[in-house]
């Protein structure tokens, strides 16, 4: 079964840190460009950042609101994506999704999202 | 920072055609992607690369793009199509991905 499963969410105080994980299965994780997307309660989707595959240089890019605070990494041997979040702020409260958009052998899109993990930043 | 603009809401009766627009300065050169999100669920891709429909998405969903505007069209909208719809694309550099603010589609 093709799936992504996030974990690591929880309650953290402002200024604190948290590390999210996302395990992929059923697809070629090693070749996938992986993204983190978040959704604050009652709000829209917001792209957080992306890491390319190792073959494509493992380049990391983050959205402006998290630049310098969040770091994306991956462990292809464990099919796992990470999001290290430091200096957390109340506005970082959101459901965090990992996701990837790939092409199958026929060139058609394969879109995979996890179920999301909730992060609450509150004192 | 780059922005994609969508109408907050669109309302149609069952069987009618729903159109949701997305405007952005980089759209003439960058693809648009459309996601459907039902309450409490993860988003689902319904259109990619402006006009292409993923496997399993009903044919009533179609996409188009002209100039700085992309459009998601649902021909013969059904009650089960009620959801929030988000367009997504990149800025002109191709590095920063952006979602539109979302459009709540009501079918009743």
Torsion of CA B48, B91, B11, B54, to 10 degrees: 10
Nearest chain A residue (CA) to B47: A109
Q: What is the pLDDT of residues A37-84, one digit of tens each?
A: 999 999 999 999 999 999 999 999 999 999 999 999 999 999 999 999
Report yes or no: A63 at the B interface, CB cutoff 8 Å: yes
Is pLDDT of B88 > 90? yes
Q: For B43-70, what is the mean pLDDT?
A: 97
Q: For B81-100, what is the mean pLDDT?
A: 96
Q: What H or E segment, with its residue span, contains residue B70?
A: strand B69-74
Of A45, A111, A114, nearest to B99 by CB-CB distance is A45
Strand partners, A60: A51
Query: Do A72 and A64 form a contact (C-beta atoms < 8 A)?
Result: no
DSSP line for A41-109: TTS-EEEEEEE--GGGT--EEE-GGGTTTEEEEEEGGGTEEEEEE-S--GGG-EEEEEEEEEE-TTS-E
Using a pLDDT cut of 70, give the percent of chain B over it.
100
Among left, alpha and beta (phi > 0; psi -120 to 50; other), residue A70 is beta
Name chain A contacts of B86, Cβ cutoff 8 Å.
44-45
Name chain A contacts of B49, Cβ cutoff 8 Å.
109
Query: Do A49 and A97 form a contact (C-beta atoms < 8 A)?
Result: no
- pLDDT at residue number A105: 87
């Amino acid at each position: 079964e093709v799936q992504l499963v996030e974990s690591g969410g929880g309650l953290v105080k402002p200024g604190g840190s948290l590390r999210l994980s996302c395990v992929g299965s059923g697809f070629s994780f090693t070749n996938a460009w992986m993204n983190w997307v978040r959704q604050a309660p009652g709000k829209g989707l917001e792209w957080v950042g992306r890491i390319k595959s190792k073959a494509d240089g493992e380049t990391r890019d983050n959205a402006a609101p998290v630049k310098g605070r969040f770091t994306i990494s991956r462990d292809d041997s464990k099919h796992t994506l990470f999001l290290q979040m430091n200096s957390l702020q109340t506005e970082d409260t959101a459901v965090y999704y990992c996701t990837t958009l790939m092409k199958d052998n026929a060139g058609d899109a394969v879109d995979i999202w996890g179920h999301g993990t909730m992060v609450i930043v509150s004192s | 920072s780059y922005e994609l603009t969508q109408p907050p809401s669109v309302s149609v009766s069952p069987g009618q055609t729903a159109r949701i627009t997305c405007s952005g300065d980089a759209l003439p050169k960058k693809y648009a992607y459309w996601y459907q999100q039902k309450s409490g669920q993860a988003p689902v891709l319904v259109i990619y690369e402006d006009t292409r429909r993923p496997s399993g998405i009903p044919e009533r969903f179609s996409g188009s793009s002209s100039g700085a505007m992309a459009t998601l069209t649902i021909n013969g909208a059904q009650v089960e199509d009620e959801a929030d719809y988000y367009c997504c694309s990149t800025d002109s550099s191709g590095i920063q991905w952006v979602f539109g603010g979302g459009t709540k589609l009501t079918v009743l």
